[in-house]
A and B are shown apart, each in its own frame.
Chain A
Amino acid sequence: MSAETKVPTGADFEPSTWTGVVRKRWLKNLPPEKMLPESQPSYVASWIYVFGMATIVAMVIAIVTGVIITLGGVQWFHESSTGRFFNSTHYWSVQLFFLFMVVHLWGKYWMSAWRGKRALTWITGVLAFLTAVGVGFTGYVITTNFNAQWIAFEAKDVMNAIGVGSVFNVTNLGQMVTFHVAPLPLALGIIVVAHILLVRRHGVVPPLDAIDPALESATAASTDETEAVAS
């Protein structure tokens, strides 16, 4: 009868491998109960908080409809009504994606959501916006219609003006298709995942001027009711 080796769960163990170091780091910062919590701080009580989720969901739908379009190919939506329908779903999910992202951004700004060491969360959000514009732009120039002709023709001037036109050739359909379908959405996905993990790790930012609950419970016995600010 061999003795069972007990594998430690949680982050409370001494790693003896690189793998172990990675696992300990991960479990310390993002334990399962932080990744998938069943609760949030009581101040998470406003509809503004749903716009981050709405943005992600719209992005997922944009990716799913985009993948469906790749199954039909670049010309599909000109040639078939099914293709046209999925082109429409892709177009509208992108419209909604940007709509929700802007409202999410407005909310986060007016909440000063970068407080408490959350600056990187803010910055990954900015990067996500920027990358999304890039993904959207490459999407527009591969629609092989008049809009694509015009947008590529105009945008080439900007790319050439800053010296990158020779490497990022917006009038090269082949290159723009591959950019739009692989490296750019991948970059966006990575940035968005980093953004979400940062939110889970730091938690939702407390309200501006929130009273520290540690102090609050200490003085709870002697708090005068009239000190509570009526909103």
Chain B
Amino acid sequence: MSRESRKARSEFYARPWQGKNRHYDIVKEGVIAFVVIGVLVIAFSALFSSPDDPALTFKGWATDAPDNLYAVSVQQLAGTSGTATYGPPYNSNSDGVSVGPIFLQKLGGVTHPIDTANDYVITPLSSQVEPNDVSAALKVWNAASADQQTTWATDYDTALQATADDQGDLHIDKVATGDYGPVPDLAKGVVAMAASGAYDNAMTGQGQFFQTDQTKQLLLMGDGSYMDDKATADNLQGNTWGMMNEAGSWPGQQWLGFTSVWYQLPIFNAPDDQTDGFTRTLTDNADVIIAAILVVLLFTFALTPWIPVLRDLPRWIPLHRLVWKQYYREHGRAS
């Protein structure tokens, strides 16, 4: 098609329609749609209800996986947990993820500071009357220098991690003897406080009357394996199409397929024991790289009218002949 004829066609499509019209009642169509869809919604709701898996609690963690909560508490004191090493906006203990030299994660700065040792161990334990061994441990910890605290905590964290067996389970009773200061008692104190339910209360209120920000406690909940294991069991992990899935047997977010698919690619799933290589970099920075891919996809989607091949497919695969078959039958088609 020549440029002139393409332009002429475009102008024709833009002009108000001069041909035949048919009666069409938009308001009636809307009312019918409202009734039909309303009935469907009510029927599905009555038949299938909606998902509501109860939120996880620290009490649950202490009950179902106390050793894991213990180990995570040690990590919070040692500064080796996921939260402690996250970087902005929670702390500056890491530069965060990047695309090449671009570190968008650092952009906002540390706007939601989390000091894992104090926020997750010392402060909650100090907020209530503790058994003698825990209150003694708190005294020792608070009297020690920052360097001493770090040494105790990292030594114990290392020793504890060293007890891992083939399944990755830790054995608290098998930790090598050493100078760990009050760290074991503090970790024990957290587990006991969580088992009583008091830890949930402390983390929810965080010392305030009104508190509607769950950032601190949610980050803690995500450290360790308690929440992670439940997500895996429910098929909600990113690399098992978790972004599209929903709890139980309810439908999820099918429309997120084009975002979820990238997390399945092997290049974004380097095994944990792989410490270097290009796929390691891609995996560690998957979120920001995939975000960049999605921005490109979004622009492609929005600019479809101008993108060759993409804008021509409807002509090459003429499904439109089914849409307008009545019209073509009566009026023909321009070649």
Which A residues have a C-beta under 8 Å from some C-beta of B? 36-46, 48, 50, 53-54, 56-58, 60-61, 65, 77-78, 84-85, 87-93, 95-96, 98, 101-102, 107, 109-112, 114-119, 122-123, 126-127, 129-130, 133, 136, 143-150, 152-154, 157-158, 160-167, 169, 171-175, 177, 202-203, 205-214, 216, 227-231
Contact of A161 among B16, B38, B291, B334 (CB under 8 A): B291
CB–CB B22/A42 < 8 A: yes
Given A133-B255, A146-B56, A150-B231, 5 more contacts at CB 8 Å? A96-B41, A116-B15, A118-B13, A169-B112, A175-B213
CB–CB A53/B29 < 8 A: yes
Contact of A207 among B38, B106, B222, B324 (CB under 8 A): B324
Bound complex: CA of A40 vs CA of B306, how far in Å? Answer: 28
| Given A38-B25, A114-B304, A145-B54, A211 and B108 contact (CB-CB distance below 8 Å) | no
Kindly identify, within residues 30 to 69 of chain B, every residue whose CB is under 8 Å from any CB belonging to chain A.
30, 33-34, 37-38, 40-42, 44-46, 48-56
Nearest-CB distance from B287 to chain A (Å)?
A: 4
| Given A36-B27, A114-B305, A160-B88, A143 and B52 contact (CB-CB distance below 8 Å) | yes
Q: Which of A96, A148, A167, A213 has the most CB of B within 10 A?
A: A213
User: Which 9 pairs between the two chains have the least Cβ-Cβ distance?
Assistant: A116-B13, A174-B212, A166-B108, A213-B19, A163-B107, A88-B45, A163-B104, A166-B111, A161-B287
CB–CB B255/A102 < 8 A: yes
Contact of B19 among A54, A133, A172, A216 (CB under 8 A): A216
CB–CB B329/A230 < 8 A: yes
| Given A133-B256, A157-B287, A77 and B29 contact (CB-CB distance below 8 Å) | no
Contact with A along B242-256 (1 / 0, CB 8 A): 110011001101111
| Given A157-B287, A160-B88, A213-B19, A147 and B212 contact (CB-CB distance below 8 Å) | no
Chain A residues whose C-beta falls within 8 Å of the C-beta of B20 in the assembled complex: 41-42, 213
Q: Which of A44, A54, A95 has the most CB of B within 10 A?
A: A95
Contact of B16 among A102, A152, A203 (CB under 8 A): A203
Q: Which stretch of B162-170, B184-192, B272-280, B315-323 is in the interface?
A: B315-323
Bound complex: CA of A158 vs CA of B97, how far in Å? Answer: 10
Kindly identify, within residues 255 to 276 of chain B, every residue whose CB is under 8 Å from any CB belonging to chain A.
255-256
CB–CB B37/A54 < 8 A: yes
A-B contact pairs, 10 of them (CB 8 A): A44-B22, A88-B45, A89-B41, A116-B11, A146-B53, A147-B51, A149-B218, A160-B86, A161-B287, A210-B334
B227 near A: Cβ within 8 Å? yes
Contact of B23 among A38, A118, A160, A206 (CB under 8 A): A38
Contact of B291 among A110, A158, A213 (CB under 8 A): A158
CB–CB B50/A91 < 8 A: yes
B221 near A: Cβ within 8 Å? yes
Chain A residues whose C-beta falls within 8 Å of the C-beta of B34 in the assembled complex: 57, 60-61
